[in-house]
A and B are shown apart, each in its own frame.
Chain A
Amino acid sequence: MDELSVKDIIKPENLVYGKSKIMTDTPLHYCYGCSHGVVHKLVAEVIEEMGIQEDTIGIAPVGCSVMMYYYLDIDWLQAPHGRAPALATGYKRINPKKYVFTYQGDGDLAAIGTGETMHAVNRGENIVMIFINNAIYGMTGGQMAPTTLLGQVTSTSPYGRDIDLNGYPLKITELIAQLPGAAYVTRQSVHTPANVRKCKKALRKAFENSAKNIGTSFVEVVSTCNSGWKINPVESNKWMEENMFPFYPLGDLKDSERDSAEKYQVQKLKK
């Protein structure tokens, strides 16, 4: 095959990849090596490819992605810490035709917002929840998260997470998968091109589920936080593979239409 000249390369018909039109030109504030940027890009691509920009509402959390609204050109609500699933519920219930998604970190979704998370899924809200799990509080400077691994050093577990002192890392995604309101629960990562493609497929499916009224779609992305972990981006990927994946294994946890009441042995009360 002949090599393409520069002239050929820049022809529009030879374009093989471009920035999603949903992504704004604002430079991302994230650290180099952080997973947020990749996941943002995937969400933007899914919204663009599905043609749902005008019908999509994003709910930004408190945490590193609090200003996600700078980067995706859709209407946004910015939630108090942990409350994104409640905002999503309120929005979606009175605007059932919209696509509503939350984007939350581990502290937001699995610590301060555990109640809102579990109850929104348990009601089977027809929303998408994107859960960035990097086992640390990034924005506040590397404190222990509910998902911090045993022995993991953070600024508030300086001798490593200790069971007696801190309890266990919370596998909230496994809990979510138990709830009958959850339609689709999956755990992904974006540390290799193959994983990026898989994660995008999962996000696409989650957004498509929104229009089917089959319950909540929940996509966890096991992510890196090299600043919080105090290692470089390359080592972060390796650390994640070696430490995070054994405890938070990738793959689908649940993929079904809303489970029937019978399956959960719900009995009709006698009058």
Chain B
Amino acid sequence: MKGNEVIAEAAIRCGCDGYFGYPITPQSEVMETLMARRPWEETGMVVLQAESEVAAVNMLYGGASSGKKVMTSSSSPGISLMSEGISYLAGAALPAVIVNVQRGGPGLGTIQPSQADYFQATKGGGHGDYHLIVLAPSSVQEMNDFVDLAFELAFKYTNPAMILTDGVIGQMMEKVELSPFKPRWTEAQIEELNGSWAATGKKSHRERYIKTSLEMVSEKQEKINQNFQDKYRQMENEDVRYEALLCDDAEYIIVAYGVSARISQKAVDILRAEGVKVGLLRPITLFPFPKKIISELADRVKGFLSVEMSSGQMVEDVRLAVNGKKKVEHFGRMGGVIATPSEVVEALHSKLIGG
């Protein structure tokens, strides 16, 4: 199955209550698959084509406020349009899942794959001090697995979660083992799980709930922000995910996520065959970023190469984690160009081994 189709199938299977989206290449198959599947007849999941990305993300805000599982998907320019709404979701502490199948930018850019939205995804994207939980699948299987995981984390932290993928993974066809069906939450389950915050109608036993990001008293707004920062720290303590491949004896580490990790994996094979002791660290959560393992690796390796389809965005987080202990270089292609494994091999030689 195609990565985008798997996102749709995984949404139905994980008990999602509503999908709201707007067509944009290269991810339109998500809504197309959902509309063809008609999940409202099967699980009761609502699928609605909105009039814009702006409307779609605000439909998410409405749906998320009721304590139900809602999601959307888009691609880079569409995510920019949604960024105001995503900031509101974070500010109102609402769980929702947003999929970004990245394409090249800036502006209308290109419809070819890219990883140039790393800053936007991991540093907030909209206005204000906030973060999303950011998951980066590198296979079609993970496109399936991470939908459920994204909902789990979004509800754990009552915070929006983003699946940051790209046009390659979205369009790529691979074998996939789909998750078993989970029923949608019942009203009683929602009351039990999310009753402390979900606006399901004012009950006599509780105060009214107001899902808002507005607080006019500065001291209170600061307190809200401090609570958010506590939440982000908790994410860093409890929910950092990464995959370390051949890092134990490595002298050099390639750091790469998503499709760049797939390309870099091949580069590692080539370099190992040449006798270069290189490992691959693949962040699965881009926020929270796997700082600790990178810092530990920095104590024993000679250098890092960050491989991304961008001008060098994640490399900044790698440098912060390495904190000057070792050399950190970047290699990337931009504008929709996909790097080849041999280019990565060459970059590692020229920038780290020979450099």
Give A residues with C-beta under 8 Å from B.
53-57, 59-60, 66-67, 69, 73-80, 83, 86-95, 98, 115-116, 119
Q: Are A77 and B212 closer than 8 Å at their CB atoms?
A: yes
Tell me how far the C-beta of B326 lies from the nearest C-beta in chain A, rounded to whole angstroms.
44
Q: Does residue B214 face the partner (Cβ distance < 8 Å to A)?
A: yes
Q: Does residue B55 face the partner (Cβ distance < 8 Å to A)?
A: yes
Knowing A73-B202, A78-B212, A78-B213 touch, does A93 contact B63 (C-beta < 8 A)? Answer: yes
Q: Are A56 and B68 closer than 8 Å at their CB atoms?
A: no
- Partner of A57 from B58, B70, B199 at Cβ < 8 Å: B199
Q: Are B199 and A77 closer than 8 Å at their CB atoms?
A: yes
Could you show 25 A-B contacts with beta carbons less than 8 Å apart?
A54-B202, A56-B202, A69-B210, A69-B212, A73-B202, A74-B201, A75-B208, A75-B209, A76-B209, A76-B211, A77-B199, A77-B212, A80-B84, A83-B85, A86-B59, A86-B61, A87-B65, A89-B59, A90-B59, A91-B65, A93-B48, A94-B63, A94-B70, A116-B58, A119-B55
Q: Are A90 and B58 closer than 8 Å at their CB atoms?
A: yes
Q: Does residue B20 face the partner (Cβ distance < 8 Å to A)?
A: yes
In the assembled complex, the Cα of A69 lies from the Cα of B208 at a distance in Å of 9
Q: Does residue B352 face the partner (Cβ distance < 8 Å to A)?
A: no
Q: Are A54 and B203 closer than 8 Å at their CB atoms?
A: yes
Q: Are A94 and B68 closer than 8 Å at their CB atoms?
A: yes
In the assembled complex, the Cα of A67 lies from the Cα of B214 at a distance in Å of 9
Q: Are B65 and A77 closer than 8 Å at their CB atoms?
A: yes
Q: Which of B50-69 contact A (CB under 8 A)?
A: 50-52, 54-56, 58-66, 68
When C-beta atoms are compared, the residue in chain B nearest to A60 turns out to be: B212
In the assembled complex, the Cα of A60 lies from the Cα of B211 at a distance in Å of 10
Give B residues with C-beta under 8 Å from A.
17-18, 20, 46, 48, 50-52, 54-56, 58-66, 68, 70, 84-85, 88, 92, 199-204, 208-214
Residues in B neighbouring A67, C-beta threshold 8 A: 214
Q: Are A87 and B208 closer than 8 Å at their CB atoms?
A: no
When C-beta atoms are compared, the residue in chain B nearest to A55 turns out to be: B201
- Partner of A76 from B18, B70, B200, B208 at Cβ < 8 Å: B208
Q: Are A75 and B17 closer than 8 Å at their CB atoms?
A: no
Q: Are A93 and B212 closer than 8 Å at their CB atoms?
A: no
Q: Are B214 and A78 closer than 8 Å at their CB atoms?
A: yes
Q: Are B203 and A77 closer than 8 Å at their CB atoms?
A: no
Q: Are B46 and A94 closer than 8 Å at their CB atoms?
A: yes
Residues in B neighbouring A93, C-beta threshold 8 A: 18, 46, 48, 59, 63
Knowing A73-B202, A77-B211, A90-B20 touch, does A115 contact B62 (C-beta < 8 A)? Answer: no
When C-beta atoms are compared, the residue in chain A nearest to B45 turns out to be: A94
Beyond A93-B63, A94-B66, A116-B58: 11 further Cβ-contacts under 8 Å? A66-B214, A74-B201, A75-B200, A75-B201, A76-B208, A77-B199, A89-B59, A90-B62, A90-B63, A95-B200, A115-B52
Knowing A66-B214, A75-B199, A76-B208 touch, does A83 contact B55 (C-beta < 8 A)? Answer: yes
Tell me how far the C-beta of A51 lies from the nearest C-beta in chain B, rounded to whole angstroms.
12
- Partner of A91 from B63, B84, B202, B208 at Cβ < 8 Å: B63
Tell me how far the C-beta of A212 lies from the nearest C-beta in chain B, rounded to whole angstroms.
19
Knowing A75-B209, A93-B46, A93-B63 touch, does A115 contact B51 (C-beta < 8 A)? Answer: yes
Interface centre among A75, A89, A94 (most CB of B within 10 A): A94
Residues in A neighbouring B17, C-beta threshold 8 A: 94
Residues in A neighbouring B59, C-beta threshold 8 A: 86-87, 89-90, 93
Q: Are B62 and A89 closer than 8 Å at their CB atoms?
A: yes
In the assembled complex, the Cα of A83 lies from the Cα of B66 at a distance in Å of 17
Interface centre among B18, B65, B92 (most CB of A within 10 A): B65
Residues in A neighbouring B70, C-beta threshold 8 A: 90, 94
In the assembled complex, the Cα of A91 lies from the Cα of B68 at a distance in Å of 9
Residues in B neighbouring A75, C-beta threshold 8 A: 199-202, 208-210
In the assembled complex, the Cα of A92 lies from the Cα of B68 at a distance in Å of 12
Residues in A neighbouring B18, C-beta threshold 8 A: 90, 93-94
Tell me how far the C-beta of B96 lies from the nearest C-beta in chain A, rounded to whole angstroms.
10
Tell me how far the C-beta of B17 lies from the nearest C-beta in chain A, rounded to whole angstroms.
5
> Which 4 A-B pairs have CB atoms at the shortest separation, nearest pair first?
A90-B62, A90-B59, A86-B58, A78-B212
Residues in A neighbouring B84, C-beta threshold 8 A: 80
Q: Are A86 and B62 closer than 8 Å at their CB atoms?
A: yes
Residues in B neighbouring A115, C-beta threshold 8 A: 51-52, 54-55
- Partner of A87 from B48, B62, B68, B202 at Cβ < 8 Å: B62
Residues in B neighbouring A83, C-beta threshold 8 A: 54-55, 58, 61, 85
In the assembled complex, the Cα of A119 lies from the Cα of B55 at a distance in Å of 9
Q: Are B62 and A80 closer than 8 Å at their CB atoms?
A: no
In the assembled complex, the Cα of A60 lies from the Cα of B213 at a distance in Å of 12
Residues in B neighbouring A91, C-beta threshold 8 A: 62-63, 65-66
- Partner of B58 from A87, A94, A98 at Cβ < 8 Å: A87
Tell me how far the C-beta of A127 lies from the nearest C-beta in chain B, rounded to whole angstroms.
10
Q: Are B212 and A86 closer than 8 Å at their CB atoms?
A: no
- Partner of B208 from A73, A95, A98, A116 at Cβ < 8 Å: A73
In the assembled complex, the Cα of A79 lies from the Cα of B214 at a distance in Å of 10
In the assembled complex, the Cα of A269 lies from the Cα of B213 at a distance in Å of 46
Q: Are A77 and B51 closer than 8 Å at their CB atoms?
A: no
Residues in B neighbouring A79, C-beta threshold 8 A: 58, 61
Q: Are A74 and B58 closer than 8 Å at their CB atoms?
A: no
Q: Are A89 and B211 closer than 8 Å at their CB atoms?
A: no
